[in-house]
Structure 1
């Protein structure tokens, strides 16, 4: 079994040839001559002791036995490109990059970002909305806003806030169904469900709020089910029915009059929302300022002390 890695140039030439399908294209990509590509592939064949290329007339292609080897090499070079991208992002010193749950970015962070500029001057933000938790090393150049136990995979985390939930509907819906403000009637009205998936089974739904008020759960199926809280709130704002909304997601629509809160009674989310980061990220002054700001912003209405981040010597 071959234990010594072949020369990197030979691997690179072979990977480029297999991906692009010709010696000429590989040579152009790597900035060398076609002869150099062919020579490096021959070096690789000699070291591996297997044929990597087969020819059909003047056309060359990967040998069948070399295809799985090439697939693994391509995956490895893709990782190298990804690592280079991480370094390029860091060297570019973009102001603040943030990965976050879609509705958390849309409904909670976005309406507040102008306050950071007012307090700390202009900054450039790059926002990536995704449910997929990034690999921990990606937090060397971005923050992650997430929920609950998902935060535990990241090197450093701090709770932002512990949200609460209550029923909401559109003003037009309430005008058509004035009984919606009565918990006893709420379970018989059209409603919109929010289902984050099996990994979040403990997140409360409308039936849980009704049960907490000693009322029966909804008596009919929801008119629609949404995996995104923001999508569900838009459906409710359009008049489809009632939904259990999180305060952090519904607050702006409540202020704008797009939604109406149906009860002062609320139930808590089982876990907090978190911001996550790595120590390397905080080497940048703007990142430290952003972290201080967002923690203070999240806790400003909760009587919490301001949490300060300072660069360690």
Structure 2
């Protein structure tokens, strides 16, 4: 195996690729901008390739550097998971819940005050994490995730199966009343959501139009494609375009009037969401309480899918 670059240089590169500026990188790592630039040059020299190009007054990653950064980020993500594992061993009395970021932010977090009112002496530690933890790292942890990966853990239960529908801001709908029809909507600006290569079954706009139109839709126009559903919903709420919204993530926006549902039809996700846990997780009384509460909260959603 080729000699790895210095760990410090890779760390600085990971932070720079995430934050996008030398100044922000220096602030996060509590070093000088000069030290950041020096480490980035050192990494380029070690790899014998250009990682940064000038984009106006700022430096940006080259296409090859973006792919390298994605792999580096996975490595540092594993470091973070390992540190979380050690912390969990020290803080076994806490209940740790690892969750897909949008599922945590948009679905679970608004529900948690009800659980915390029942379990007042408990402390919840919430981790927003796309990367799936290794099964042996769930000893004191729950993992809320989506799709086939949920069945790979030692212990898991189905929470619910979500569904999608088109939605847009009231302002967008007032400008484009034709968005109420599938044919009219297919000609408007759309906000896309793409979870990434590891997810291949989540619905996209073309899947929706296949269920609504007798013929193939015209070429679709995306104003933007987001890697997280929450960002796509925010873009739609701002009037940038219509979004194929998941009910579990969009319900609060719909109730608040930030989004309007454009069709009563539903397109169900092909896979459910799961709650998973480790071999010793349920040794904690608060963990058993949380699992019972979570299954009770999601029972109406499971019953609805079976109707």
The answer, yes or no, to whether TM exceeds 0.5 is: yes
Matched, 1:103 2:121: no
Distance across 1 between alignment mates of 2:274 and 2:218: 31
Matched, 1:159 2:191: no
Partner of 2:64: none
Contact 2:161–2:301, Cα closer than 8 Å, also in 1: no
Report 1:53-202 matches (<5 A): 82=82, 86=85, 89-202=88-201
Distance across 1 between alignment mates of 2:85 and 2:204: 39
Distance across 2 between alignment mates of 1:303 and 1:259: 26
Report 1:228-239 matches (<5 A): 228-239=228-239
Distance 1:303 1:118, change over 3 A: farther
Contact 2:139–2:281, Cα closer than 8 Å, also in 1: yes
Structure 1 runs (4+) greater than 6 angstroms displaced: none
Report 1:150-299 matches (<5 A): 150-215=149-214, 216-217=216-217, 219-299=219-299
Higher relative contact order, structure no. (Cα contacts within 8 Å, ≥ 6 residues apart):
2
Distance across 2 between alignment mates of 1:122 and 1:263: 44
Deviation at 1:104, TM superposition (A): 0.5
Deviates more, 1:135-144 or 1:211-220: 211-220
Distance across 1 between alignment mates of 2:143 and 2:218: 35
Structure 1 counterpart SS, 2:138: helix
Contact 1:195–1:225, Cα closer than 8 Å, also in 2: yes
Distance across 1 between alignment mates of 2:252 and 2:299: 17
Contact 1:207–1:218, Cα closer than 8 Å, also in 2: no
Distance across 2 between alignment mates of 1:161 and 1:282: 21
Contact 1:167–1:245, Cα closer than 8 Å, also in 2: yes
Distance 1:92 1:245, change over 3 A: same
Distance 1:261 1:218, change over 3 A: farther
Partner of 2:300: 300
Distance across 2 between alignment mates of 1:302 and 1:274: 12
Q: How many equivalent residue pairs?
A: 229
TM-score by length of 1: 0.67
Report 1:44-59 matches (<5 A): none
Contact 1:208–1:217, Cα closer than 8 Å, also in 2: no
Note the residue ranges of structure 1 that are not aligned, 5 or more in a row: 1-18, 20-77, 305-313
Deviation at 1:118, TM superposition (A): 2.7
Deviation at 1:87, TM superposition (A): 5.6
Structure 1 counterpart SS, 2:222: coil
- What whole-Å deviation, never above 9, does each CA across 1:9-48 have from its counterpart, x for those lacking one? xxxxxxxxxx9xxxxxxxxxxxxxxxxxxxxxxxxxxxxx
Distance 1:173 1:124, change over 3 A: same
Aligned Cα RMSD in Å?
Answer: 2.6
Contact 1:194–1:225, Cα closer than 8 Å, also in 2: yes
